[in-house]
Amino acid sequence: MSESAGDRKTDRKIDVVIIGAGFSGLYALYRFREAGYSVHCFEGGGGVGGTWYWNRYPGAGSDIESLEYSYSFSEELQQEWKWSKRYSGQPEIERYMIHVADRFDLNRDISLNTTIGDLNWDESGDVWRMTASSGERIEARYCVMCTGILSAPKHIDIPGFDSFAGDVLHTSKWPAEEPDLNGKRVGIIGTGSSAVQSIPILAERAGQLTVFQRTPNYSIPLQNGPLDAAYESHVKSDYQGWRDKQRKSFGGYVSVNFRAASPPESTTMEVSDEERRMEFETRWASGGLAFYTSFKDLLFSQQANDSLADFVREKIRAKLVSREIADALIPDNYPILTKRLCADTGYYETFNRKNVELVNLREAPIERITDKGVKIGDKVYELDVLVFATGFDAITGQLVRMSIKGVDGVQLKDVWQDGPHTIAGLMTHGFPNMFFINGPQSCTGFFNPVLNAEYQCDWLADMLERMQTDGHVRVEAEQRAQEDWVEHVRSVAEPTLFWNSENWFIGANIKGKARVMQLYLGGFPAYCQYVSEVRESDYRGFAFGDQVTVNDKADALTGS
């Protein structure tokens, strides 16, 4: 006889379980609790913050401006909170998230230091069942995955990586107590955004810093500084109006345009050389991600892309004293913007310091890591501290590392072997009542994740309300509608230049991972239009299941 839902031992029975207490998880908790559901959030970290809890390496910070990289749901919150800098560092963002959790009394429904490793769909009761690392058994009607797209550190694939006898640090799991690097020989592997942010500070602290670089990245000066009071007042005088502008933009940030210039209407090569140069100079001076909102064809036309890459290469070269180091640091074999652009404060200038050495792994790769340091050919670079800034199994990584069993015990990791399959990044067929916020095939990664989380949670709350009204207890993505979305995501990405670099958007930084665009590139306005139409068409593409009592189900299963 089948076990019925009623026979199971459950310590906590709730409407909505939320996994992860980063920006998405905190808002989901607030939103679904406000909607009247019993909600609980499980978080593996020792505090709230998600990315901003774990990535506390020196120099960590956001490259979306503070006034925009923050919640919009509470006018009081956005008026009250004072950011100190144009772009916030990790400590300030973490303080903000702790404040949000306190201000909205979220902590009473968050279990910290608690992971959920496996989730199982129980068809007999239309519920998700899981056991937390604390041993607690949970039953939830809905499961909201807020696990982040850059939260599963890439497994280190260098031979002997665990044999190093000195201190080992990872940028994505930096210790809360700042390690003492004073006078030490520090090595860092990787030159992505995390390394680009941390290297200038590590160089100041260490006796000697050795940077092991395989692929150089393009980095633009962040142009950070104190938040201008007049500008802050301007934004706060009509914050909701400002948020609307953010939502109507492609990336969810508009300050760079406010400070620089509006995105040009023309394509790159349509304008004169002088006009193009002026546009690039303005965006270089504005800093950070400003180039993503420059000419529309930069990610489509190789010629357009080359013109920007040449401009940035020239700027980088001008910062470096040594020609040889400049040659090694300047990217020359992939389109700019296709690996996520880095934003830095003094990155290139750091390589002019006497205590910094650049090791170009394109000339000779790392052979192995030994107890003493990093071995390349006959030479061992002896170190006291080794830092891995080697990136993430991005977007799907955290989800497929969990055991998530849907209908008939099918595992999510198997269903997503050839890349994610979702409807609008919200649900996947075969996994009823499970929702993804800032997940695969949504706009996140190319759109401000804080606003995206608010939008997706609000949309889901509407759908759950409608289900409640109609007496439904189950919702599932229809396969056909889902595959239409998968095809749409693919076709939007196809004509871009993203296929010409080894970037994490297409899974190319992970050996054996399917090479598919894992995010939606059509832009937030187009995304909103799509899901609004879905809502207005009575949730086309979503199949609802009616209220069936647990006893009815058990009877049906046992044939009695």
Strand blocks (E) in 353-451: 356-360, 368-369, 373-376, 379-382, 385-388, 403-405, 434-436
* Contact (CB, 8 A) for 210 and 232: no
Q: Which stretch binds ligand NAP (CB under 6 A): 187-195, 201-209, 433-441, 468-476?
A: 187-195
Give the phi and the psi of residue 296 in degrees, each rounded to 5: -65, -25
Based on the shown chain and the rule CB under 6 A, indicate whether residue 190 belongs to the binding site for ligand NAP.
yes
Based on the shown chain and the rule CB under 6 A, indicate whether residue 335 belongs to the binding site for ligand NAP.
no
CB of 91 to ligand NAP, least distance (A): 14
Considering beta carbons, is residue 193 or 350 the nearer one to ligand NAP?
193
Based on the shown chain and the rule CB under 6 A, indicate whether residue 224 belongs to the binding site for ligand NAP.
no
> Which residue in the set 106, 152, 186, 343 belongs to the binding site for ligand NAP (CB under 6 A)?
343
Considering beta carbons, is residue 329 or 475 the nearer one to ligand NAP?
329
CB of 362 to ligand NAP, least distance (A): 9
> Which residue in the set 25, 50, 89, 192 belongs to the binding site for ligand NAP (CB under 6 A)?
192
Q: How many C-beta atoms surround the C-beta of residue 327 within 10 A?
A: 13
Based on the shown chain and the rule CB under 6 A, indicate whether residue 510 belongs to the binding site for ligand NAP.
no
Q: Which residues, other chains included, contact 462 with Cβ-Cβ below 8 Å and sequence gap of 6+?
A: 535
Q: Which residue, among 495, 536, 532, has the nearest Cα to 517 in the 3D structure? A: 495
Based on the shown chain and the rule CB under 6 A, indicate whether residue 187 belongs to the binding site for ligand NAP.
no
Binding residues with ligand NAP: total (CB under 6 A): 27
Considering beta carbons, is residue 174 or 435 the nearer one to ligand NAP?
174
Give the phi and the psi of residue 534 in degrees, each rounded to 5: -60, -45
Based on the shown chain and the rule CB under 6 A, indicate whether residue 195 belongs to the binding site for ligand NAP.
yes
What is the residue whose two structure tokens read 């693919």?
490
Based on the shown chain and the rule CB under 6 A, indicate whether residue 399 belongs to the binding site for ligand NAP.
no
CB of 504 to ligand NAP, least distance (A): 5
Considering beta carbons, is residue 61 or 522 the nearer one to ligand NAP?
61
Q: Which stretch binds ligand NAP (CB under 6 A): 192-200, 242-250, 295-303, 472-480?
A: 192-200
* Contact (CB, 8 A) for 285 and 223: yes
Structure tokens at 411: 């595992």
Give the CB-side neighbour count of residue 254, counting CA atoms within 13 A.
15
At 172, the amino acid letter reads: S
Q: Which stretch binds ligand NAP (CB under 6 A): 114-122, 183-191, 395-403, 518-526?
A: 183-191
CB of 217 to ligand NAP, least distance (A): 7
Looking at the DSSP bridge assignments, the partners of residue 116 are 132
Q: Which residues, other chains included, contact 241 with Cβ-Cβ below 8 Å and sequence gap of 6+?
A: none
CB of 505 to ligand NAP, least distance (A): 9
Phi-psi region of 419 (alpha: psi -120 to 50; beta: other; left: phi over 0): left
**Residue closest to ligand NAP (Cβ):** 192
Considering beta carbons, is residue 48 or 195 the nearer one to ligand NAP?
195
* Contact (CB, 8 A) for 508 and 395: no
- Within 159-178, which residues bind ligand NAP (CB under 6 A)? 171
511-543: burial string, b at 16+ Cβ within 10 Å, e else: eebeebbbbbbbbbeebeeebeebeeeebebbe
Strands 356-360 and 208-213: parallel
At 209, the amino acid letter reads: L
Based on the shown chain and the rule CB under 6 A, indicate whether residue 214 belongs to the binding site for ligand NAP.
yes
Based on the shown chain and the rule CB under 6 A, indicate whether residue 220 belongs to the binding site for ligand NAP.
no
Structure tokens at 342: 């880095």
Q: How many C-beta atoms surround the C-beta of residue 269 within 10 A?
A: 14
Based on the shown chain and the rule CB under 6 A, indicate whether residue 518 belongs to the binding site for ligand NAP.
no
Based on the shown chain and the rule CB under 6 A, indicate whether residue 197 belongs to the binding site for ligand NAP.
yes
Q: Widest CA span of the chain, in angstroms?
A: 83
Enumerate the H helices of 238-391 as residue ranges.
Answer: 239-248, 255-259, 273-286, 302-317, 323-329, 347-350
Give the x-and-dash track for 356-395 against ligand NAP (CB under 6 A): -----x----x----------------------xxxx---
Based on the shown chain and the rule CB under 6 A, indicate whether residue 70 belongs to the binding site for ligand NAP.
no
> Which residue in the set 15, 63, 109, 139 belongs to the binding site for ligand NAP (CB under 6 A)?
63
Considering beta carbons, is residue 286 or 390 the nearer one to ligand NAP?
390
* Contact (CB, 8 A) for 404 and 423: no
* Contact (CB, 8 A) for 110 and 29: yes
Based on the shown chain and the rule CB under 6 A, indicate whether residue 305 belongs to the binding site for ligand NAP.
no
CB of 59 to ligand NAP, least distance (A): 9
Q: Which residues, other chains included, contact 363 with Cβ-Cβ below 8 Å and sequence gap of 6+?
A: none
Q: Which residues, other chains included, contact 86 with Cβ-Cβ below 8 Å and sequence gap of 6+?
A: 65, 66, 223, 224, 225, 226, 227, 228
> Which residue in the set 169, 509, 519, 520 belongs to the binding site for ligand NAP (CB under 6 A)?
509
> Which residue in the set 17, 21, 42, 62 belongs to the binding site for ligand NAP (CB under 6 A)?
62
Residues in the chain: 560
- Within 79-98, which residues bind ligand NAP (CB under 6 A)? none
Considering beta carbons, is residue 267 or 496 the nearer one to ligand NAP?
496
Based on the shown chain and the rule CB under 6 A, indicate whether residue 143 belongs to the binding site for ligand NAP.
no
> Which residue in the set 191, 208, 255, 428 belongs to the binding site for ligand NAP (CB under 6 A)?
191
Provide the binding-site residues for ligand NAP, judged by CB under 6 A: 62-63, 150, 157-158, 171, 189-195, 197, 214-215, 340, 343, 361, 366, 389-392, 502, 504, 509
